[in-house]
A and B are shown apart, each in its own frame.
Chain A
Amino acid sequence: MNQVSVDAAAPVIVFRKESRWKEVWRRLKKDRLAMFGLAVISTMIILALLADFIVSYEAALKMNLRLKLAPPSAVHWFGCDGYGRDLFARCLHGARVSLTVGFATSIATLIVGSLLGAMVGYIGGKLDDIVMRALDIFSAIPSTLFAMAVVAAMGSGIVNICIAISLTNIPGFVRIVRSSVLNIAEQEYIEASRAGGTSTLRILLKHVLPNSVGTLIVQTTANVASMILTAATLSFLGLGINPPQPEWGALVSEGKEFLRTAPHLILFPGVMICVASFSMSVLGDGLRDALDPRLRT
Chain B
Amino acid sequence: MHRFIFKRLLMMIPIVIGVSFLIFVIIDMIPGDPGSNLLGAGARQEDIDMLNEELGYNLPLMQRYGKYMYDAIFRLDLGKSYATKKPVITEIGNRLPVSLRVAFNAILFSLVFGVPLGVLSAVKQNTVFDRVPTGLALLLAAQPAFLIGLVLMLIFSLWLGWFPANGIASWKSYVMPMIALGLPYGGRQLRFTRSSMLETIRQDYVRTARAKGATERMVIWKHAMKNALLPVITVAGNSFGILIGGAIATETLFGLPGLGSFIVSGIKQKDVPVVTGGIIVFAVVFSFVILAVDLSYAFVDPRIKAKYSGRGR
Residues of A at the B interface (CB closer than 8 Å) are: 133-134, 136-146, 148-150, 152-155, 225, 229-230, 232-233, 236-239, 249, 252, 256, 259-260, 263, 266, 270, 273-274, 277-278, 281-282, 285, 297
Contacts and interface: CB of A to CB of B under 8 A. Distances in A.
Contact of A233 (B31, B144, B151): B144
11 contacts: A137-B19, A140-B18, A140-B19, A141-B23, A143-B245, A145-B244, A149-B23, A153-B29, A229-B142, A236-B144, A270-B150
Given A141-B279, A142-B282, A277 B245 contact: no
B146 A233 contact: yes
Given A133-B14, A259-B150, A263-B154, A273 B31 contact: no
Contacts of A140: 15, 18-19, 283, 286-287
A233 B150 contact: no
Given A148-B264, A236-B249, A281 B147 contact: no
Contacts of A141: 19, 22-23, 279, 282-283
B142 A150 contact: no
B19 A230 contact: no
Range class of the B interface residue count: 35 or more
Contact of A281 (B141, B244, B282): B141
Contact of B246 (A233, A263, A285): A233
A225 B139 CA distance: 12
Contacts of A148: 264, 267
Across the A-B interface, the 9 shortest Cβ-Cβ residue pairs: A144-B245, A137-B18, A153-B29, A278-B142, A140-B283, A277-B142, A142-B244, A297-B198, A229-B144
B164 to A, nearest CB: 14
Contacts of B245: 142-145, 230, 233
A259 B158 contact: yes
A145 B282 contact: yes
B237 to A, nearest CB: 13
A266 B150 contact: yes
A154 B15 CA distance: 24
B300 to A, nearest CB: 22
A56 to B, nearest CB: 28
B232 interface: no
Q: Which of A134, A137, A273, A282 has the most CB of B within 10 A?
A: A137
Interface string B211-251: 00000000000000000000000000000011011101100
Given A149-B279, A236-B249, 18 more contacts: A140-B18, A140-B286, A141-B282, A142-B244, A145-B264, A152-B27, A152-B270, A229-B144, A232-B144, A236-B146, A237-B252, A238-B268, A252-B150, A259-B154, A277-B142, A278-B142, A281-B142, A282-B138
Q: Which of B143, B154, B241 has the most CB of A within 10 A?
A: B241
A129 B4 CA distance: 19
A154 B29 contact: yes
Interface in B264-313: 264, 267-268, 270, 275, 278-279, 282-283, 286-287
A274 B241 CA distance: 21
Given A149-B23, A252-B150, A142 B144 contact: no
Q: Which of A145, A148, A149 has the most CB of B within 10 A?
A: A145
Nearest to A230: B245
A142 B142 contact: no
Given A233-B246, A278-B139, A142 B286 contact: yes
Nearest to B25: A153
B149 to A, nearest CB: 10
Contacts of B30: 149, 152-153
B147 A274 contact: yes
A249 B125 CA distance: 36
